[in-house]
Structure 1
Amino acid sequence: MNALAYALLSMLVRKPCTGYELKELLEVFWQAKHSQIYPLLTKLQKDGLLTFERIEQSSKPDKKVYSITEKGLKVLKEWMFRPANPAVIRDEFLIKVYALWLVDRQSAKVMFEERRAMYQSKIRYREEQIQIMEKEFGDGVLDHTSRVFGRYLLFQRKLRQEEEEVSWCDWVMDILDKTNKTNQTNKTNQTNKTI
């Protein structure tokens, strides 16, 4: 089984979910596509690791609500004791940063402003979710045997990463502003020397 399969089981151990809900919950770990999730759910169901209940909907297609089985829980618990594989980080933006010298200063600044805005939005969402957990579970969020404990830790970690990303964007934009001012000063000095 791959990491995505274990991620799906980890989501389902907390509560039954639809495929759409699983995709939304997985956002904390990585971006998975529906084309990855649904075939894997079918495989996990065939392997007896999860089951589903079909829910009829009047104006929409029926939906499946997935639940983990005892066998799935056993497999998930066994996996918990294995060492984790090294993290795979794939961020297209960082490749663009590496080649940033190819664009003008203003375009570079726009790239970082957009990145910053995206992460500020993530921070707002993460803070809202953390507040909901703290309100609903109180001190229970810090009880390692609570269903919400791992999710709370994960959201706190993601929040810190997102705040660091905003801080890094601010730092880069500050450098870009200083570079622009230095270039303008140099141009002014060269103009004054020629006059």
Structure 2
Amino acid sequence: MNNLGYAILSSLGRKPCSGYQLVGHLEVIWPAKHSQVYPLLTKMEKNGLLEFDYIEQSGKPDKKVYSITEKGRKNLEKWVTESPSDFIIRDEFLVKIYSIWLSDEENAKKLIQDRISKLEKTVALRDENIARIEQTHEKNGLEMTSKNFGRYILFNRRSMLDKEEISWCKWVLNLIEKASLNNLLLGIIVGKLNIIIQDMVLIT
């Protein structure tokens, strides 16, 4: 089974949910599309790792709510103790940043400002989830054995990383603006030098 399968087991091990809900829960650990998740759910159910209940809905199609089986739980427990493979980051934004020298200043700044805007919205939503978890466990605290513990620390990790990237994006914007200002000043100086040279030529 691939890592997405174990991510599904991890999420369903916390609580049963539909395929649609599952895609949302996976965002924090292993983002995946519906087209990837649904076929794998079917395969995992056939292999006895998952089971589902049909839930009737008024005015909506009936839905399947999946939950982890004892076999799935044992597979997950065994997998959790194994050393993870090296992680890989694939981010289109980073590729564009790597080739930002091909862009003009306006488009370069827009690329970064759009990233900041998206990150700020994501951080705000995630911080709301963090606050809800903290509020739920306010009296007794959040223990490692709680099913929400892993979710809580991962939410905080992503939030910290996103906030750090926002700071980095602002640093890059400042770098671009400084370079632009230096080029402007250089242009003014060169322009003035040309005028002085022309005046000297006329005088001579």
**Equivalent residue, structure 2, for 1:99:** 99
Structure 2: distance between partners of 1:183 and 1:129:
45
Structure 1: distance between partners of 2:137 and 2:55:
29
- Once the two structures are superposed, the pairs formed by residues 93-172 of structure 1 within 5 Å of their partners are 93-138=93-138, 140=140, 142-172=142-172
The residue type equivalent to 2:154 in the other structure is L
Structure 1: distance between partners of 2:92 and 2:186:
34
* CA contact 1:19–1:64 (8 Å) conserved in 2: yes
Gaps of 5+ in 1: none
Instruction: Give the greater-gyration-radius structure (CA).
Output: 2
Distance verdict in 2 for CA 1:76–1:140, change over 3 Å = farther
The total of aligned residue pairs comes to 195
Which consecutive aligned stretches of 4+ in structure 1 deviate over 4 angstroms post-superposition? none
Which of 15-24 and 27-36 deviates more? 27-36
1:88: Cα distance to partner?
A: 1.6
Which of 8-17 and 21-30 deviates more? 21-30
Structure 2: distance between partners of 1:86 and 1:168:
24
1:121: Cα distance to partner?
A: 0.6
1:139: Cα distance to partner?
A: 5.9
Q: Which whole-Å deviations, capped at 9, do the CAs of 1:109-148 have from their partners, x for residues lacking one?
A: 0000000000001110111010000001126553111111
Task: Normalising by structure 2, report the TM-score.
Answer: 0.93
Q: Percent identity?
A: 48
Task: Normalising by structure 1, report the TM-score.
Answer: 0.97
**Equivalent residue, structure 2, for 1:70:** 70
- Once the two structures are superposed, the pairs formed by residues 1-80 of structure 1 within 5 Å of their partners are 1-80=1-80
Q: Which whole-Å deviations, capped at 9, do the CAs of 1:170-194 have from their partners, x for residues lacking one?
A: 0100001101110110010011101
Distance verdict in 2 for CA 1:152–1:140, change over 3 Å = farther
- Name the SS for the 1:120 alignment partner: helix
- Name the SS for the 2:17 alignment partner: coil
